[in-house]
Amino acid sequence: MNTIFHWARRSGLALSLLAPVSLSALAAQTPAPSAPVQAPIGQGPVTVISGPKGTTTTAPVQIPSPLPPIAQPHQEPIVPIAPPDPKVRLDCASVDHDFGSMIEGEIARHTFEMKSSGENPLIIVSAKPTCGCTVSQVKVEGAEAGTFVNYVYGQPIASGKRVQIEAELNTKNKHNQTQSKINVQCNDPRTVVILGLTAMVDTYFLSSPAQLDFGEMSTSDSRELTAFVSSKRGGKFKLWQDMVAAIPGIRIEIKAVNPDAEGRSERWEVKVTLGPDCREGGMGYPVQLRSDQLVANAPVGHDGQAAAYGASVMVSAKVRGLISFEPQYLSFGLVRPGQQLTRTLKISCYDEKFQLALPKSVSFKGQSDAVPEFRWAENFEAVSRLSEDGKSVDIDVMLKGMPAGADSAFQGRVMIETGHPARPTIAVLFSGVCRSGTPAPAPVPVPVPVPVPKPVAPAKGQ
């Protein structure tokens, strides 16, 4: 077997590759053995072993130049965990700080004052904050009293030295009572010292009401509700809709109430018109509003704009089609061959101009248009009942029993012809699993009547 060994260096690593090579290809590329070959720069020797006695020749091979090093993302150095030391103590004048009342979006800062007060040096491994909190810097007292320098995690802090941890609380998207924690991992016997920041966060604006609930309506309905937005601190401001998205069937108008010459007002009207032609289903749409009132102490955003206070009004509704049905899915669960089950479907009409009647037809089809045929259609049937007001139809979808030997899952659609021009056909998915080994449901026990004893006639003379 003819074999060629390649030795190459790439990025300082030695690679050894074993690959077959034909003698004809080698003879075409290899100089005669009598002529010594010097490997030029960038090339190295290749030893070819051939023949029954293993005669050798040497030929050059091109070695690729080392690739440039791949830039690695910046990573914080890993500081080994310092084992707890009973002679180490991290004292803090107060491990909790309450900022009191704040307005959503504001950022507050606090410096925790601590001290290394044990016999042995204190070592801090990390100071990790939870959501909403940021640790800007851990500092330790320098050589001169009262001066502080940035601390390097893992370095010993002599006893008597003061430590400062600067932290900030960001109240963006926070409401009511909020808190954040800072976990300081160190070689104190507690291993983790927990610092806390708390605040009572209130919104800058008052939306009244905060939610516009349109209730249940059809796709042909049109309704209008209004909310008002004012500042809890008083004063005039400008207001506009933020992140405008086109949603079918919803229109939003924002208008100042008694504005001044610059368009500012102490009160703004947010009028929402819903319908017609809303999408069917549950609706939950937040109307996001922005103002010209800047957030105090907030940093400039990535877009170069200063953060401003905002408000929101939630719009909710349950939109039904002119013809709708529920439930949206029928499940027969686990059945055995021959078992009979019934599931009921309700069709409702919300079109005042249409008189609902019994379905023109109810059929059973495959699970999709790609699978139009339903194998077990003959084992199902439907019975329809019209309500007295003519606005709904109850359809009993009955499984008459799967045939003996059936042992598989089944899935299909109940196709209902409503006769309504907007929705002439309704397709309702259903499914189940038939298992021949499924035990029959336990029979419902029939109560046995307890015989009532006959009254005993009193004896004569009594």
Instruction: Please indicate, yes or no, whether residues 18 and 113 belong to a single structural domain of this protein.
Output: no
Q: Per the domain annotation, does 460 fall within a domain? A: no
pLDDT score for 455:
59
Instruction: Please indicate, yes or no, whether residues 330 and 315 belong to a single structural domain of this protein.
Output: no
Q: Per the domain annotation, does 72 fall within a domain? A: no
Give the structural domain span for 339: 323-434
The rounded mean pLDDT for the chain is 81
pLDDT score for 101:
92
The residues pairing with 91 across neighbouring beta strands, listed in sequence order, are 115
| More confidently predicted of 259 and 448 | 259
CB 159 within 8 A of CB 120: yes
Omega into 156 within 30° of 0, i.e. cis? Answer: no
* Listed residues 178, 202, 226: the one ending a domain: 202
DSSP string, 356-392: --S-S-EEEE-SBTTB---TTGGGEEEEEEE-TTSSE
Instruction: Please indicate, yes or no, whether residues 116 and 194 belong to a single structural domain of this protein.
Output: yes
Instruction: Please indicate, yes or no, whether residues 312 and 354 belong to a single structural domain of this protein.
Output: no
Q: Per the domain annotation, does 231 fall within a domain? A: yes
- Residue 350 pLDDT class (50, 70, 90 cuts): confident
pLDDT higher than 50, residue 17: no
Q: Per the domain annotation, does 71 fall within a domain? A: no
| More confidently predicted of 85 and 132 | 85
- Residue 5 pLDDT class (50, 70, 90 cuts): very low
Q: Per the domain annotation, does 462 fall within a domain? A: no
Domain count, the chain: 4
Amino acid identity, position 161: K
Q: How far apart are CA 74 and CA 45, in angstroms?
A: 40
pLDDT higher than 60, residue 166: yes
Pairing mode of beta strands 205-208, 223-231: antiparallel
Q: What is the mean pLDDT of residues 122-131?
A: 90
Q: Per the domain annotation, does 396 fall within a domain? A: yes
Query: Which segments within 275-355 are labelled E, that is strand?
Result: 281-294, 308-320, 323-326, 329-335, 341-349
| More confidently predicted of 31 and 179 | 179
* Listed residues 153, 179, 202: the one ending a domain: 202
pLDDT higher than 80, residue 74: no
| More confidently predicted of 88 and 68 | 88
Instruction: Please indicate, yes or no, whether residues 162 and 190 belong to a single structural domain of this protein.
Output: yes
Q: What is the mean pLDDT of residues 293-315?
A: 82
**Which of 227-236, 294-303, 329-338, 347-356 comes out lowest in average pLDDT?**
294-303
Instruction: Please indicate, yes or no, whether residues 213 and 187 belong to a single structural domain of this protein.
Output: no
CATH number for the domain harbouring residue 370: 2.60.40.10
| More confidently predicted of 378 and 77 | 378
pLDDT higher than 80, residue 9: no
pLDDT score for 79:
67
pLDDT score for 28:
44
| Nearest CA among 326, 344, 341, 437 for reference residue 380 | 341
Q: Per the domain annotation, does 189 fall within a domain? A: yes
